[in-house]
Structure 1
Amino acid sequence: MTPSYFLNRAVVILVTIISFIVNTQAQNKLVLNASNVEYELTPYLSVFEDKSCLRTIQEILSPEILYQFKPASNTMLNPGITNSSWWVRVEIVDSTLNGNRWILQANYPGIDNVDLFIVDSLHRIFSKHAGTLLPFNRREIKDRRAAFSIRSQRMINQTLYVRFESQSSVALYLRLMTLQRYMDADHNAQFYLGIFYGSILILVLYNLFLFLAIRDTSYLFYVLYVAGYVFHQMVVDGLYEEYFFPNSVVASVHIFQMAIGFFLLFGSLFTQRILFSSRFSPLLHKGLTVCAILGGMVLIFASITSGPLMNRMISFIIIPYALLTTAMAIIGLQNRYAPARFYLLAVMGFLIGLIVRGLRVSGVLPLNLFTEYTLQAGMLWEMTLFSFALGDRINTIKIEKELEKGEMRSRIAADLHDEIGSNLSSISMTSQMIRRSAKLSQLEKHRLAEITAIAKETTDAIRDIVWFINPQHDKFVDLIQRLKEVTPKFLTDLQYTFNTSGHIIESMPDLLIRKEIYLIYKEILHNIVKHANATKVAIEIKSQSNRFILSVCDDGVGFEAGDVKDGLGLKNLSDRAAKIGAIIDISSCTGRGVKITLSVPTEKP
């Protein structure tokens, strides 16, 4: 080999060494001091991407690889879902008098493998392992996130290498804190997570109770949707393996993806039900049906297998799901559908929480109480407003049922009027025509007359029934008008007055009450015509102290209380009044007429 060859090789090696020195010097060294109890390591990190996922710490420490470490940027610290493993490097030196015990914690939970390698000034290597694929009971620090204990020594340099690898999303953010600060932070975290999951549990139990009470599947879909959300979040927060499977990791890997499929399936069904997608937008309704089917497929496949491909499939489904649900809420709002307001506000609150978390993880926003739990707060906001939307749906269901009852009553009224009413009229007319025949005996004519009378009475009764079951006559003013119309049919040869006074309530939806008032009134008029021998009748209707008061007074012969007979129909009046919780007062004496007052409560006790 020629001297020029060795000269060229020497120049390359020299340039490599100089570049390595410049690169490592450019990265800030973290100096620990007694005044700070917590450090965000982002400004001190350098990053290397291992696309093979096979490099060992010895290979990483080689000059060739160390040269490839780059100062951390927000893009590099948020690789997301990736097939690579990622290494971060930070150099620390403790300036305190006696050194300290520190806790190194990954800010982002849910990472499968997090390996720590500590290289001291003597080039000794100490390794530790954490991550969701390490059973909870085998972790050095029983933490829902990857955490390691580090002992620093005064003015002794230590270089930390942390390797991240995960099938799900990866973020390379780290913080270093004293043991006491870590314990305080963990105590606060448990408190806030307890509030979050406790509130969610209350919402689930409340809506499950409503489902059992009214049997509306919207509430069941809500409960199942929230259940999927909660199990997913428990895996993300590292709580699932801590409380359910502390000695195993297989279940949490599958549960993470199954929970997403679960909430996609029932979230789509919940949205269809609560926003009436089939009514307002059949196209979006079909889209949500596709999302529900895909969610069910994720649920099934995730129970069998897991991996990056499944995560990418989930990401592919979630985006159109979010767009479809938001668009459906906007369409519902445009149609003035009240629950759509709560739904849209709920989604916006969750999106705000998601954005804040993304900005915090990317380093744009600092890590504090607000940014740490904004996502959970957004989820709680969403679930609470969804519950409000369901509560508003109770009124919607009530209105729907009333409309259904009204439609049914209208159909029955039309059928009675068209079929039975016309048939009775035909019977009456036919019997009258037959009576005109000279061949009939007097007995036969008398019986035909009875048929005609019965048919007419039945026709009148059918008309009354048709009138009362028609939902257009549910107002009290319609009842009063009906009473006015029937009065001259009874009091044909009598002088009468019909007066109303005071504020008359608008509606009385209870059909039984309106019908009994009408029948009582007809019976009173019938008794006046049949028994009173009166010439004048005064009728007054008024509303007083939440009671409907009907008063009928005549100037007839009257009667003494001891002379009352059942044949007068007074007992029947009392029975009808008692049936609707009304009070009827009958006052009379011989020669001074009769006054009957009916007092009906207009509000249920």
Structure 2
Amino acid sequence: MFKIILTFIVLIAFHQETHAQSHLTISDNFGEMTLFPFDILTDSDGHLNFRSLPKDSAAWKPAASPTLNLGYTSASYWFRFTLSKRTTSLQRLFLVVSYPLHDRIEVHRPNQQGAYQEVVTGDNFPFFERPIKVTRFVFDLDLDEVNGQPVYINIRSGSSMRIDMRLSTTERLLERNQLETAAFFLFYGTMSAMILYNLLLYISIRERTYIYYVLYILSHTLFQMGLNGHLLQFVMPDFPNLASAMIPILVGTTSIGVSLFTQSFLESRTFTPRLHRALQLCVLLGCLLIALSAFLPYSRIIPLANILPFYFSIVCFISGMIRYRQGYRPASIYCLAFFAFFMGVILASALTFGFVPNTMITEYGAQMGSTLEVIMLSIALASKINGERKSRYEAQKNALALALEKQHSYEQMERLLYPHQLDMIQKGLPIETTMPAGLDIACVLSFDVMDSSKVKSEGFSEIMEEFLADCRELMMRGYDGNTLTSAGYMIKEMGDGFLCSVGFPLKQLGSSKAECAVELARQIIDRFTRLNEKLDAPSPVYCCIGVAMGQVKTYFSKSGSVKYDMWGRGIILATRYESLRKEILQKLPLEPGNMLILQEDVYYSLPAHVRAQFQVHSLDGLGLQVRDHPEATTLVFLQIPAVTTFLEAS
């Protein structure tokens, strides 16, 4: 316990001894030093001037540290120091006030006559009025004139009252100025390159995330130029008030740019809706800060401008962390980038409010963090775009595969459905609406090859497939999907035979269903007759068509796969009349040939010149009866032994 008390007493004694030293000694080997010790006097109401300034030591207090951060204050501060010259090689030194945003700085230095000369500058004055035209505030001190005499400095600031003063020789001043200029312009060059690069990318691929990023980098770069005094020095040297007013405005545009960029980059509206609203608030606060900058004085608006970066940095960082935990890979780089920026903002804001001392890292932390952030965000943005391109490529690949599958499906469906059905399905209509469903009267054709099991010819199956394709083509003649008209409708194919209808569900081309049906039957027999020319069978092959008129019903199946089907008396009678061919050949002495058998209702619906071509017999006279049609009394048929005979008859 005794050792602790003794140590405490020694420290107090050392502290008092340090501050008892009221002057600085300049020796031959002097190069540069932080100005300390010095005395400080607070003018709370700002009414003191150099003439009314108390010169007695009781009113002055020794500064506690070489760098001070007194935060935002309306008070005016006076500083005093004394130099003792102990050198013959140095004649001139420079007093440097490092913080470039002080509104007004007065330096009162003694001259050879013993009077005090006043030099006034600050960022409220045009840049060309500065005694030495560099970013920092630099004042010339003649060592012979100031030797042993106190030098007085008065500082007023609407910004943070940050005190960091140093004494420097000409050589060290030039070295530091060159080093700072190179460092700052390396920062500005990096930012400018990123702005140009991302702007060109936006022009190239029209991804709006890039333009938000450009807005953010541009605003933040100009904001840093304002903080470092370069906005006044290089952009608007004749408009100091405007240069100062631009700082809170640029904080607002930075908040808007980074919030819009984050919303777009992280897709916050979709994946983090609550934080999306917080990001939208950043945009609103940025707009509010810009609006208030037009009405409130700089000293009132700048504290608000220092709080806003804290808010949007935290919101952006949390948004990135959540998206990273959701599995969004570019968010990891985004979080690292904003962590670097966040640390820089924390250091800069903490320095502004006086929470940390003024060091190289704290003074330039914002620039260091911003440089790392911009580079990493560009990498993250490239990762996002590459990921999206890969996703789009995969999507296009899948879409192409799906399109090919659909194309194949449609090609297969074209073999099963009519074109108007495909069109209606593509428009989103259910298949059940694509064809008429219900009861109606139709002429039905039942086609069959006579004794097909006895045909001895290689390739008969392939030739039959070709013939059926020709028949489908005949039925599609005159097809109109709007009016649902066609020469015929294929009901069903059955090996070497088929059923088709005329008049329903597709309307016939002419006025008479019977006449159109008989004409279609003749064309089918014509195509089949020509089939014999391709066969190498030892004897001709013949066909038979039964034609009957009756009621049919069309419908879509309601269970299993959807199927359009037709059934009814017309179909039954057509098959019954076609099956009479064997009995006819047994009852009548006829030469073999193709045969067309008509129901008497169909026969009597034909014109007279067509009816004249058919043979008419009494069913009772032949001892025949039509199955399922007991009321039938007449047998009507036409035998066609050769295609020429058929064509001449038609």
TM bracket (short chain): 0.5 to 0.7
Structure 2 CA distance for partners of 1:413 and 1:86, relative to 1, 3 Å = farther
Which one of the candidate residues 47, 56, 63 is aligned to 1:54?
Answer: 47
1:209 aligns with 2:200: yes
CA distance in 1 between counterparts of 2:33 and 2:66 reads 21
Equivalent residue of 2:102, what SS?
Answer: coil
8 Å CA contact 2:19–2:37 kept in 1: the answer is: no
Identify unmatched segments of 5+ residues in structure 2. Answer: 1-15, 422-430, 449-466, 477-650
CA distance in 2 between counterparts of 1:442 and 1:34 reads 125
8 Å CA contact 2:82–2:147 kept in 1: the answer is: no
Deviation at 1:221, TM superposition (A): 0.8
Name the structure 1 match of 2:272.
281
Structure 2 CA distance for partners of 1:57 and 1:24, relative to 1, 3 Å = farther
Deviation at 1:414, TM superposition (A): 9.3
Deviation at 1:55, TM superposition (A): 1.6
Deviation at 1:149, TM superposition (A): 0.8
Moved more, 242-251 or 141-150: 242-251
CA distance in 2 between counterparts of 1:25 and 1:335 reads 58
Normalized against structure 1, the TM-score is what? 0.62
Which one of the candidate residues 326, 344, 347 is aligned to 2:317?
Answer: 326
1:389 aligns with 2:394: no
Name the structure 1 match of 2:335.
344
Deviation at 1:291, TM superposition (A): 0.6
Equivalent residue of 2:162, what SS?
Answer: coil
Name the structure 2 match of 1:40.
34
Identify unmatched segments of 5+ residues in structure 1. Answer: 1-21, 455-605
Alignment of 1:363-512 (within 5 A): 373-402=364-393, 405=396, 425=416, 439-440=444-445, 450=472
- Residues 429-472 of structure 1: CA distance to partner in whole angstroms, max 9, x if unpaired? 999xx9xx9832759x9579526999xxxxxxxxxxxxxxxxxx
Name the structure 1 match of 2:121.
130
Partner letter of residue 41 of structure 2? Answer: F
8 Å CA contact 2:263–2:279 kept in 1: the answer is: yes
CA distance in 1 between counterparts of 2:146 and 2:42 reads 30
Normalized against structure 2, the TM-score is what? 0.58
Which one of the candidate residues 71, 74, 85 is aligned to 1:94?
Answer: 85
8 Å CA contact 1:45–1:89 kept in 2: the answer is: yes
Equivalent residue of 1:157, what SS?
Answer: coil
Partner letter of residue 395 of structure 1? Answer: N
Alignment of 1:102-121 (within 5 A): 102-119=93-110
Structure 2 CA distance for partners of 1:301 and 1:411, relative to 1, 3 Å = farther
Equivalent residue of 2:155, what SS?
Answer: strand
Partner letter of residue 472 of structure 2? Answer: E
CA distance in 2 between counterparts of 1:286 and 1:419 reads 47
Name the structure 2 match of 1:186.
177
Equivalent residue of 1:167, what SS?
Answer: coil
Name the structure 2 match of 1:5.
none
- Residues 43-67 of structure 1: CA distance to partner in whole angstroms, max 9, x if unpaired? 302323222122212232244xx53
Q: How many residues align?
A: 425
Partner letter of residue 51 of structure 1? Answer: S
Equivalent residue of 2:84, what SS?
Answer: strand
CA distance in 2 between counterparts of 1:358 and 1:125 reads 37
Deviation at 1:404, TM superposition (A): 5.2
- Residues 89-111 of structure 1: CA distance to partner in whole angstroms, max 9, x if unpaired? 22222111265211111122222
CA distance in 2 between counterparts of 1:395 and 1:452 reads 56
1:150 aligns with 2:152: no
CA distance in 2 between counterparts of 1:23 and 1:133 reads 39
Partner letter of residue 228 of structure 1? Answer: S
8 Å CA contact 1:93–1:154 kept in 2: the answer is: no
Equivalent residue of 2:202, what SS?
Answer: helix
Partner letter of residue 208 of structure 1? Answer: L
Larger radius of gyration: 2
- Residues 533-592 of structure 1: CA distance to partner in whole angstroms, max 9, x if unpaired? xxxxxxxxxxxxxxxxxxxxxxxxxxxxxxxxxxxxxxxxxxxxxxxxxxxxxxxxxxxx
8 Å CA contact 1:94–1:156 kept in 2: the answer is: yes
8 Å CA contact 1:108–1:173 kept in 2: the answer is: yes
8 Å CA contact 2:110–2:145 kept in 1: the answer is: no
8 Å CA contact 2:109–2:146 kept in 1: the answer is: no
Deviation at 1:283, TM superposition (A): 0.7
CA distance in 1 between counterparts of 2:297 and 2:396 reads 51
Name the structure 2 match of 1:173.
164
CA distance in 2 between counterparts of 1:25 and 1:331 reads 52
Which one of the candidate residues 17, 28, 36 is aligned to 2:22?
Answer: 28
Across the aligned residues of Structure 1 and Structure 2, the Cα RMSD in angstroms comes to: 3.9
Partner letter of residue 387 of structure 2? Answer: T
Equivalent residue of 2:445, what SS?
Answer: coil
CA distance in 2 between counterparts of 1:373 and 1:259 reads 18
Moved more, 177-186 or 392-401: 392-401
Deviation at 1:303, TM superposition (A): 4.8
Structure 2 CA distance for partners of 1:417 and 1:27, relative to 1, 3 Å = farther
Partner letter of residue 52 of structure 2? Answer: E
Partner letter of residue 331 of structure 1? Answer: I
Equivalent residue of 2:51, what SS?
Answer: helix
Partner letter of residue 42 of structure 2? Answer: E
- Residues 240-273 of structure 1: CA distance to partner in whole angstroms, max 9, x if unpaired? 2222222231220222121111111111101111
Which one of the candidate residues 281, 285, 299 is aligned to 1:290?
Answer: 281
Equivalent residue of 1:80, what SS?
Answer: strand
Equivalent residue of 1:79, what SS?
Answer: strand
8 Å CA contact 1:351–1:378 kept in 2: the answer is: yes
Deviation at 1:121, TM superposition (A): 9.8
Deviation at 1:302, TM superposition (A): 2.5
